[in-house]
Structure 1
Amino acid sequence: MARLSRRRLLLAGAGAACALPLAGLARGADAAGGTRLLTASDVHVANYPTVEAVRWIGQTLRERTGGRLDIRLYHSGQLGRESEAIDMARFGVIDITRVYSGALNNAFPLTRALCLPYVFDSVAHMRHALDHGIADAVLRGFEARDLVGLAVYDSGARCFYNTRHPIHRPADMRGLKLRVASSDMFIELVRLLGANPTPMSLGDTFSGMETRMIDGAENNLRSFHSSRHFEAARYWSQSEHSYAPDILLVSRATFDSLAPADRRLLVETARASVEVMRRHWDESEGRARQAVLEHGVEFNEVDMPAFHAAVRPLREAYLRDPALADLHRRIRQFA
């Protein structure tokens, strides 16, 4: 109990330090024009699809309320790592954050259903399932822990890339040190495939490959390009081992402080932003692929049956949980 209290105290202290400049910005806007300014964070760069979607939410809120509601967006990790953003939102230091679902697995168990290896067959399968009840079921799981789920943004297929050689079969991963998110599922996934998982923030991954602390990582193609990891890792292997999406969250304290009509407007606008995000994603993914190919990155297919077989024990272990098994069954119905 003492350890938990100390952790909360440290978080609250860090949150208060971060809150000072943010609260000053919001109060200044309130005093000047009566605007309720919501702060939003994202570790991705300015033109990343999720950043564009949240920017669109802010613009829509501004237009629909005559400037009474607006969003100030901090992209490119300006407010810290995703793990820090989750805690800042929980404690009300910031209002909205976009987080990769893998980083939520340990604290929010229902997100694991979206991250299981090979649960989705394609982007089309994932989007269809999310749009037909799966997203809503997962978003409801945030209600108990100081957060409100606003939307699920898909983020393409996650694949492996590294600095050493192509990966065709799980055996080719033996001995590789690969960055993963701080998720028990992804740590075990990489271990089952024969590599050495190294939990690390996205922001530290490039320097980790340059200094040979790690040999590579796993992520989607759009992030591989926008983070410039292609400058360090020459080999991209199309494993498509996970389609783990992103989650848009709002602080429960912020949500509860809004008038009921504004709460409905925020939820409605966030859900509508999913199509905005997907449009930006579809338009930019092809450009990202062309750019990394031109830089000399080598693409290769993998032995899919071998990868499926290697990770089956992980999927079976998680599906002993009845709630995850039910979501998995519903997802597979849309395959």
Structure 2
Amino acid sequence: MKAAVLYELAKPLKVEEIQWSTLLRGQVLVELAYSGVCHSQLMEVRGKRGEDKFLPHLLGHEATGIVKEIGPDVTKVKVGDKVVLGWIKGDGINAEGAKYLNDDKIIVNSGGVTTFNEYSVVSENRLVKLPDDVPLDIGVLFGCAIPTGSGIVTNEIQPEENSTIAIFGLGGIGLSALMATKLYKCSKIIAIDIEDNKLELAKEFGATDTINSLKEDSLKKILDLTDGKGVDYAVEASGITMVIETAFKSVKNNGGLSVFASHPKAGELIKIDPFDLICGKNIKGSWGGGCYPDRDLPKFFDLYLEGKLPLDRLLEKRYTLDEINFALDDLENRKVTRPLIEINKNIG
């Protein structure tokens, strides 16, 4: 099969032919249709996640495809099932990562799930069946963007009626979080980014107010919009330490909550004023939106089918697997919100 392999940090991925081996206990072979690309992979390729002990290896953690073969003891899926591949662990066996071989017989490592490849040997617990009426391209977003972004809102915040919320960073995670706020009766939904086109999209998704943080002081503007109190909740998805700090400052005293799910560069630290903690501001990190895939994805599937999650608006640009490095460049340069890799759009 063809796959994009990371051999060296801060270098382009190498698209080449590799081979998979016999399936082990709990492993599932999936022929991939589509894969998403998020900032986690971008940071990994660029070497911003710190030391990488597993080179060379495959990448990618959100995709859709068709089950082609199941390994010993797999019961969750069967051959022919449409599935979502994601990084968050769910029901099923937590199988070891597969080992692949390139043409030079060098071992190419992988984790429980990889998606920048035509076929993937996936751990059973990283798969969820995709309903037949959810398209395979849309289904990719249920692997990471939706469970993380929307999950922060539905699992970890659950905004109260008439509460206020600010979303910092309008990539795939931030926009997914913004969509989910419309499920609640928030009085103000404030979207913050540095791209005017994303802010316009945020208005379509239900933002009551938008702030371009390159053009105005986002903290001051949020305080102006909330009579000096700050918002009840903040979601931070930019991956910038200064923005995490600002999001925390933007929440109100006595119970304000800031949740961040972004990955700043390895080694960077956030600074917060201890007095803000004493005053009752709260901050927490989110691991995949507190999502448990087998419990939560069926709910998100239903919301999409009911028209409450306009996910098609997130997939504005598509690439082939051979164009994976262009997709990474475009994501880094903010030319695209969520690149979609068309691996085999004709299956299914």
- Give me the TM-score of the superposition, normalised by structure 2: 0.30
Using structure 1 for the length normalisation, give the TM-score. 0.31
Structure holding more strand per residue:
2
RCO higher in structure (CA 8 A, sep ≥6): 1
